[in-house]
Amino acid sequence: MPEMPPPTTGRDRVRQVANAINLSTLTGLLVATIGRARLSFGPGCTILATDLRLPLRAGALTIGDVVLTRKSRERMLDRPALVRHEMRHTVQYAWCLGVVMLPLYGLASCWSLVLTGDPASRNVFERRAGLEDGSYVERPVRPYFSRRGGRQR
């Protein structure tokens, strides 16, 4: 018998409907299927796609309301800060009209890479999801891009 989903809030339902309409959750489920992940209900109307058999640079990747990870369900849920971080990304998908977030996220990662040498440190999506919760370390802006332009006075 499948486990019952955890209780949800009205906000969770609105986000869930938005991500269903904008097709980002369907895209996440497609990636989970390709990666032969195990699907289960997660907190706040999310879907945990665990034991993913695709390479991931990060501990988890969210597409719509689907949180994809190579970890087991138990290992993922043992990291509540990471779960909160990924749940914030689900809201970002709703605000960004779904899969439109993917190129926006890519641009934000490139911008961060140019500024800091790290794709997350100045990535607006990662910063708003909580760098520390996502296990990212904030890197400083390179001197060339600092307010003084890196010039010594």
- For the stretch 85-95, pLDDT in tens is 999 999 999 99
Nearest to 98 by CA among 38, 43, 39, 24: 24
d(CA 57, CA 98): 21
C-alpha distance from residue 107 to each of 11, 75, 101, 137, 148 (Å): 28, 31, 10, 19, 25
Q: What is the pLDDT of residue 146?
A: 75
Q: What is the pLDDT of residue 4?
A: 52
pTM of the model: 0.88
For the chain, the residue count is 153
Nearest to 90 by CA among 131, 145, 122, 48: 48
- Strand ranges, E, within 19-88: 38-41, 47-50, 61-63, 66-68
- The segments of the chain whose pLDDT lies below 50 read 1-2, 152-153
Q: What is the pLDDT of residue 149?
A: 57
Look at strands 66-68 and 38-41 and give their pairing: unpaired
